[in-house]
Amino acid sequence: MKHTNGSIEVITGSMFCGKTDELIRRLRRATIARQKVQVFKPAIDIRYAVEKVSSHAGAEFAAMPIEVSREILAHLLDGVTVVAIDEAQFFDADVIAVTEELAEKGIRVIVAGLDQDFRSEPFGPMPALLAQAEEVSKLRAICMVCGGEASRTQRLVNGEPAHYDDPIVIVGADELYEARCRKHHVVPR
């Protein structure tokens, strides 16, 4: 049985909340249901493996790294019924139109990404993706200060909270990220 209804699902939340684990869980279920799955990720995400989406917990699923979101359409295989996009916050604004186009073609689109940057502000194309989705799953992590529910990502530089004016995306920097609750999330101005 093939999945034929186009839709957009967004899995979001802070770092360490299990977004990629949930994405992989849904992909495995789609594979069990004999749906043809294709996964894309931003080429800048080389934390664990270049051609896989990988969770902090160690789960993996084969993926194609791409530079810009329009490449999804160029690399789309015939008969694909499920397209997954991991770390969507790192893509250009075209990812919004690309996901709409895929859904209009009857494809189930599953998107995972951070809803907020380290400053606790909307991150890249995520607000628009959340607005157009038929289904949104907002996951929470555990605050590394108090152990409560965490909805924010704290960036630490040399053990101190990153400043508001620091760059949003830094690849390869000597930094640490933690999940934090609203009360313990700090961004000095």
Q: Which residues are catalytic?
A: 87
Q: How many helices (H) and strands (E) does the chain have?
A: 4, 13
Was 75 annotated as part of a binding site?
A: no
Question: Distance between CA 9 and CA 52 in Å, rounded?
Answer: 20
Was 14 annotated as part of a binding site?
A: yes
Question: Distance between CA 12 and CA 88 in Å, rounded?
Answer: 10
Q: CA nearest 153: which of 79, 66, 63, 56?
A: 56
Was 169 annotated as part of a binding site?
A: yes
Q: CB–CB of 114/123 below 8 Å?
A: yes
Was 184 annotated as part of a binding site?
A: yes
Was 107 annotated as part of a binding site?
A: no
Was 177 annotated as part of a binding site?
A: yes
Was 172 annotated as part of a binding site?
A: yes
**Could you tell me the two tokens for 94?**
């075209």
Q: CB–CB of 151/13 below 8 Å?
A: yes
Was 87 annotated as part of a binding site?
A: yes
SS3 (DSSP) at 6: coil
Binding-site entries for substrate: 169-172, 177
Binding-site entries for ATP: 13-20, 86-89
Binding-site entries: 13-20, 86-89, 143, 146, 169-172, 177, 181, 184
Binding-site entries for Zn(2+): 143, 146, 181, 184
